[in-house]
Amino acid sequence: MNEEMQTSKKLLNKKSTFSRQLSYDEGKPDWRRLTVLIALLIIVINGVFWGTLLHSYNVSTKSGATSKPAPTVAAPVPTSTADVDDGKIGHTFYTYTEEPSSADPFGYIYAFGWASDSTRLAVGGYNGAVAFDATTGNNPVTYTNQSLTPLDVDYSHNGQYLLLSGFNARVINIQKNEVVSTYPSLTNQALATGSTSNNLYTSFVPQSGGNMIYSSSWSPNDQSVASMTYGTVYGFKVVIWDPQTGLVKKTILVPDANVSNYGRDLSWSPDGTYLALGVSQDEVFVWNAVTGELVTKNTHVGGSNGLAWSPDSKYLVTSGNTTAVWEVATGTIISTFEKDASEVSWSPDGKHYAIGSDANVLIIEALTGKVTYTYRGHSSKDGRRVYYVAWSPDGKYIASSDHISGEADTVRIWLAA
């Protein structure tokens, strides 16, 4: 009896101990169970999501709708003449080659000019001019003429007109591809604007005697054009005329100019105050554009091949056997670069200028004459040289052309900044 009571007591003690343990365990979280439950819940949610998505896709497909993937931008495909921007200074975007013709079997380039918004470039060759998207060569428009070879090409600042200078100077309405005015007046001409072609002219007989306009420049407000005339009939002078009518506003005689000493490059200052002219025999003239009064006359030994104004109109850079930066007000030379150069172009930020030298283009610090970059994208084969250089108005690009006798000329558009 006592044994049975002791046994019962032991069983009761075990039960009590078990109950206390169970009560304690229930107060603690069961992590293994929770993990299993969470995993099951995730599986269920994914199943519902994907089932709903597939159902929606099947419904849209059956109803004729098409799914639209997220838009992607395809990288442009480089061609033999255009390339993709890699962001590096000197990167060549596009190379234009002047096509030879029966009249010009070698394909020479005589001039080019930037549109004011820096998107288009117009190139003058033997048979006229062609304008195209500067970095791709797309959307070309031709301005051809049987007798006009543009020696100078200039866009108006408002982007509406193109000025071509050669046997004469002509203002062309870009949108209409029509001649607005001509200086000087033509003789024995027949102008046409054929509706089935881009040709501006059907026939034209220029004045004889070697008369030409080598260079022209728009005034900053596009209300006037200044042209440098050459020849026994035209005379050796700077003529300021109305681009809408062709009527002469003012004439400035060039001292001692003749068939061997003539104006090569004429440029209106950005502020509209001055006109600068570089001539072939060592002289650079600066006139007041309003009065025609001579402001300064400088000597550029070896003749001036090209000139360009600083954006603030305080300085003038001239190129030839050497390159020199002048202070216009005093005629003082600020800096020089002792190397033969062809054309010159000032950067829009006013800090540098660019010149063609041999087969390269040099970017030079304006006030020190220090070379900061050399572009070697042109071929130097057989003595090919860079002749023309032009900085885009936004400062981002430079266009430069190379030349060698007997081969087609090219223009390269490349990243300057």
Pick from 391, 414, 411, 335: nearest CA to 99: 411
Instruction: Determine what percent of the chain is predicted with pLDDT higher than 70.
Output: 69
Residue 181: left if φ>0, alpha if ψ -120 to 50, beta else—which one?
A: beta
Least confident range of 64-78, 161-175, 381-395, 400-414: 64-78
The dihedral sign for the CA sequence 321, 324, 328, 334: negative
Least confident range of 24-33, 108-117, 360-369: 24-33
pLDDT of residue 61: 35
Indicate whether 272 pLDDT > 70.
yes
Sheet containing strand 152-155, strands side by side: 152-155, 161-165, 169-173, 178-183
Instruction: Determine what percent of the chain is predicted with pLDDT higher than 90.
Output: 48
**Banded model confidence at residue 53, pLDDT cuts 50, 70, 90:** very low
Least confident range of 72-86, 227-241, 267-281, 361-375: 72-86
pLDDT of residue 146: 44
Residue 209's identity, in one-letter code, is G
| Mean pLDDT of all residues belonging to the chain | 77
pLDDT of residue 50: 43
**Banded model confidence at residue 260, pLDDT cuts 50, 70, 90:** low
**Banded model confidence at residue 114, pLDDT cuts 50, 70, 90:** very high
Q: What is the mean pLDDT of residues 132-137?
A: 97
Query: Helix, strand, or coil here: 239?
Result: strand
Regarding predicted confidence, which is higher, 406 or 251? Answer: 251
Strand 109-114 relative to strand 352-357, pairing: unpaired
Structure confidence by residue, pLDDT tens digits, 310-328: 999 999 999 888 899 999 9
Indicate whether 132 pLDDT > 70.
yes
Indicate whether 48 pLDDT > 70.
no
**Banded model confidence at residue 25, pLDDT cuts 50, 70, 90:** very low
CATH classification code of 92-415: 2.130.10.10
pTM score, two decimals?
0.74
Contacts with 350 (C-beta within 8 Å, 6 or more apart), sequence order = 310, 311, 312, 366
Indicate whether 80 pLDDT > 50.
no
pLDDT of residue 34: 52
pLDDT of residue 83: 62
Regarding predicted confidence, which is higher, 120 or 149? Answer: 120
Query: Helix, strand, or coil here: 137?
Result: coil
Regarding predicted confidence, which is higher, 59 or 171? Answer: 171
Residue count (the chain): 417
Q: What is the mean pLDDT of residues 372-386?
A: 89
Least confident range of 248-262, 365-379, 380-394: 248-262
Contacts with 154 (C-beta within 8 Å, 6 or more apart), sequence order = 113, 162, 163, 165, 216, 217, 218
Q: Which two tokens stand for residue 215?
A: 């260079």
Q: Which two tokens stand for residue 29?
A: 């979280």
DSSP per-residue string spanning 52-86 = HHHHHHHHHHHTT----PPP-PPPPPP-SSB----
pLDDT of residue 309: 97
> How many helices (H) does the chain have, and how many strands (E)?
2, 30
Least confident range of 91-100, 101-110, 256-265: 256-265
Indicate whether 368 pLDDT > 90.
yes
**Banded model confidence at residue 222, pLDDT cuts 50, 70, 90:** very high
Indicate whether 68 pLDDT > 70.
no
Indicate whether 67 pLDDT > 50.
no
Regarding predicted confidence, which is higher, 262 or 25? Answer: 262
